[in-house]
Structure formats: C-alpha cells, structure tokens
Structure 1
Amino acid sequence: MTKTPTASAYLGELTERIGKLLEQNGEAIAKASDAIEKTARADGLVYIFGTGHSHTMAEEAHFRAGGLAFTVPILAGATMVHEGAVAGTVFERMSGIVAPIFARYPIGPNDVLIVVSNSGVNAAPVEAATLGKQAGATVIAITSEDYSKTAARGRTRLADVADIVLDNHAPAGDAITAIPGSELRVGPISTPVGAALMNAVLAEVAARLQSSGVAAPIYLSANMPGATEINNALVARYRPRNPHL
C-alpha cells in the first residue's frame, strides 16, 4: 500500500483528466490553434488575462522556455494574489475595474485575447472578454463549463462571450480529491489542466509555423546553448509591444 494515498489519488485523477483533454476539446483546440496561427502570421499578439490564481496562466506563457514570444501577459496587482488576496477577490467581482487595466494594452483586430476564469462568472473576466470582442480580437476562454453553469444564476458567463471555449472540465469548487473522514476536498485542477490546454495550443501553432518555413519565435531556456543570442533578439523584437519584458 502506498504511503501517500491522497497524493496518489490526486495525481491519478489529474492524469486521467489531462488524458481526456484532446477528446473533449479537440475541435476547440483546432479552432484556437487556427486563430493564434492567423495572428502570428499577421504579426499580432496573444494577450492573456486572468484574475486571482487564474492570472498565473498569463505568467505561464510569458518569457517561457519553449514558449512563444508573441504572448503578452495582462497583469495588474489589484486583481492578482500577491498584493492582497482578499482584496483581489473583491476586485475581480467589481464592474468597471478591467477597462483602465486594459488601457495599457492596445489590443486590436490582429490579436487574440485569452481570458482564464475557472468559475467564468466574475465581472472582471467577463468584462475583459467583452472588451476584447469590442476591439476586434478573437477571444479564447479557458474555463469550466459545468462550474460556470452552476455558479451563473442568471449572470452572463465568460463562455457566453468568448469566440472559442477550452473547457477544463473542473468540478464546482475546483478541488477533486476527498479527504477520508471529511466532506472537504483538496487538490485543485484548474491550473494544471488549463496550462496543459494552453501549452498544447501554443505548441501546435509553433509546429505549424516551423513546418511552413516561418521561424516560430520560441524562447530557449537560459542555460541552453545559443539561448542568450536567440532570446535577446526576441526581446528586442517584442519589447516595444510587451510592457513586461
């Protein structure tokens, strides 16, 4: 018997869920890849926004070894967790907070906006998706359809606004693993599953660009041979349009 049964249960279910992503999201992954490939060929950008822990998805893609340099995180301390998690939870539910944040990022018709929200009903991500649509960008949501339907209670969902929905299939409450002798659950899955979905799409786009003779702007890990020269060139190319480089 394993000495870590709860850890094993979590990892087992997480592995099973990730294994089903292509079956569950195949069409959406293809559409998202098409949209981002089109943006890449037009020299557009892929902006990524989330609040609370969902903001980590924006940082996951940013300046990432093996990642694409045309990704731009949309970051504002008030909606994240490091400057005050409790306050951030309040702010992400407040209408009107996103517009001044987005004023820093000139999203346009050649761009893609990825909005990440597990529950998919808070004001900030819904308004972010709406602003993206108004700017002419293609909006991709990473969310839980089931959770958002449970939480909506008549409210507009992120999935209702987005052009393309990548469904992480997280349950209401996010956590999947029961603690024996308790009704409590641990082991949230929205972050690892969401990251897998996003990175799968970006990997697909990179491969398509390379196979067509277009050099995909891929960052190398800093300790890999040639990384300094390659990464410096990419930073010089995208820094004028990415305020976080």
Structure 2
Amino acid sequence: MSVIQDFIAKSRQILDTIEAQQAQIQQAAQWFADSILAGRMVHVFGSGHSRIMVEEMWPRYGSFAGFNPIVELSLTFHNLVVGANGQRQAMFLENVPGFAERILRNFDLSEADTALVISSSGTNVVPVEMAELFQKRGIKVVALVTSLHSAASASKRADGRKLTDFADLILDTGAPAGDAMVYVPNLDTPVAPGSTVGGATLINCLKAETARLLTEAGHPPKVLSAAVVVGTQRAVELFEGAYDEHAHRIAKMYEKVGIQSYVSENKAIH
C-alpha cells in the first residue's frame, strides 16, 4: 500500500467512526437549532488549528447564520510562524489562565445559547476554561475532540481537568493519538494528521442536520450559495440576507454586555 492509499484508508476509518456517532450529532444539532430558533446563537470556539473548524461552520458556502465564530487572532494567526506574532507566542497564550474569561467578557450570554468548543487534545487551558465558563452560565457545551489523543494527553490545567470534563456532549474526530496517521519508510515520525478530516466531517454533519431541523420548524436558513447553483441574483440575495441576519443576531450579544449606560437603557438621545 502506498502512503497515499494508507491515508485514504485511514480517512475511511475516520468516517466510519463518525457515522457511529449519528445519535450524538442529532442531539447536538437539536440543541443548536433550538438556540437559533430562539433568536440566539451557537458560540463556536477553537484555538490553534481548531480555528479551521470554526470557519468551516460559518461563514462559507453551504453555511448559514446562527453561529458566532469566536476566533482570537493571538491564538490562531499561524502564517508568520516565527518572529512577531509567531507560533511560539500563540502556543504560550493558549495556556494562559484567565484568557477565556477576557474573551467572553465581550458577549452578553444567555442560557438559550449553546456552544461548540473544538480542541483535538482537549487539554489546553483556554478551550477548557471556555467550556467551563459556558457551563457556569447555563449554556450546553458540545466538545469536539480526538478521543484517543485526549485520553493519552496530560491536561495543562493545574487541576488536571480536560475539555471533556466540561462537556454536555462529546464528539470524536476519530483520529489517532498524535493525530498524524501515515508512516513513511525510513522516517521515524508519522505525517498527515487526521483530525481535520474528522472535524470537518462532523461540522458539516452538524450543519446539515441543523438546517433540516430549522426547515422542518418553518424557518429554513438563508444558505450562502454559489451563483452557479442558484443564479447570480438569488446568490446575492442569500449572501446579503444571511449577513444581515448574522448582524441582527450578534447585535444581541453586545446590546446589554457589561456595564450599562444611557444607551443600553434605551433613553432617547437628542
């Protein structure tokens, strides 16, 4: 078997692992749909390369409003690698206690919200604290992890707790411990991680099931769609409508956040 065939074969195994989680995916999607139908949002957070899954959920073609993508650049800006804004700093900040609270300070959260927190290892401080804070505020948390990798990894928190300790429901990417799946002859370290394959599949299963539930509830989502599928005019209408809906939903997250003022008290300004 070639290394290409090996990666493809292991990716098929990942898909089998995800298919076995259909009941969990359906439950998570029901929670997400309930939040969206209530006019609230699903908060989606990931640090490091888990940012990929956040952006896979929204906004991109085939997705729709109702998800709040929380992407902190200091934790996810990998392009420079070294120097200012380099990867070393991002990996350091990912384990700074209290950072999650500073991020969530920006949002007026509600128990009608739900959260999807993504971390392959489930052991870095910021995503673990993020899930903990969501739960403390009565928000259901879905954790997307790589179960084998998380089980084999030590938590960076002083108390040893992991993301899965603060999850109401756990989804598994199906990737192996260490993530990389392919061994190349004469190379002692594996290459080609699998968590992105599994994570992206889970995200889109959740997205599809949530769209089904919203449609059956009489509120079909405005899906970002390509002109080659729906025509240019319809594509523009869908994009504008979806972006405006996102604006209306996210406005609620800021309207009453933190210290109140005469603006938040709805007093007339002349």
Question: So what's the TM-score if we normalise by structure 2?
Answer: 0.83
Partner residue, 2:256: none
| 1:30-109 map, 5 Å | 30-82=26-78, 83-109=85-111
How many Å separate the matches in 2 of 1:81 and 1:117?
A: 16
Offset of 1:213 from its aligned partner?
Answer: 2.6
Amino acid aligned to 2:236 = T
Q: Deviations over 1:11-36 (max 9, x none)?
A: 2211221133111x123112112211
Kept after mapping to 2: 8 A contact 1:52/1:85: no
Preserved CA contact (<8 Å) 1:70 1:217:
no
The code of the aligned residue for 1:190 comes to: S
RMSD of aligned alpha carbons: 1.8
Deviations 1:86-143 (A, max 9, x none): 2111111111111111222333211111100000011011000011112221111000
Query: Alpha-carbon deviations, 1:62-109, whole Å to 9, x = none?
Result: 221111211111011111133422211111111111111122233321
Q: Does 1:15 align with 2:23?
A: no
Counterpart among 188, 196, 209 of residue 191 in structure 1: 196
Point out where structure 2 has 5 or more consecutive residues left out of the alignment. 79-84, 252-270
Q: 1:73 to 1:104 in 2, by over 3 A?
A: same
- 1:113 partner SS: strand
**Aligned-residue identity in percent:** 28
**Kept in 2: contact 1:79–1:91 (CA 8 A):** yes
Change (3 A) 1:162 1:172: same
Tell me if 1:219 matches 2:224.
yes
Contact 1:46–1:114, Cα closer than 8 Å, also in 2: yes
Cα distance between partner residues in 2 of 1:100 and 1:20 = 36
CA contact (8 A) 2:40 2:249 kept: no
- Please give the secondary structure, in 2, of the residue aligned with 1:20: helix
Task: Say whether the 8 Å CA contact 1:78–1:84 is kept in structure 2.
Answer: no
Q: In the alignment, which residue of structure 2 is the partner of 1:237?
A: 245
Partner SS for 2:153: helix
State the SS of the aligned residue for 1:72.
strand
Q: 2:208 aligns with which of 203, 209, 215?
A: 203
Task: Determine the C-alpha separation between the residues in 1 that align with 2:226 and 2:68.
Answer: 18
Q: Deviations over 1:48-73 (max 9, x none)?
A: 11111011111111221111211111
Distance 1:6 1:161, change over 3 A: same
Q: Distance in 2 between matches of 1:144 and 1:118?
A: 5
Residue 222 of structure 1: CA displacement? 5.4
> Residues of 1 paired with 2:29 and 2:138: CA distance?
18
Across the two proteins, how many residue pairs are aligned to each other?
Answer: 239
Task: Select the structure of larger CA radius of gyration.
Answer: 2
Which shifted more, 219-228 or 51-60?
Answer: 219-228
Partner Cα separation in structure 2 for residue 58 and residue 194 of structure 1: 10
Structure 1: 4+ residue segments shifted above 3 A? 240-243
Any gaps of 5 or more consecutive residues in structure 1?
A: none
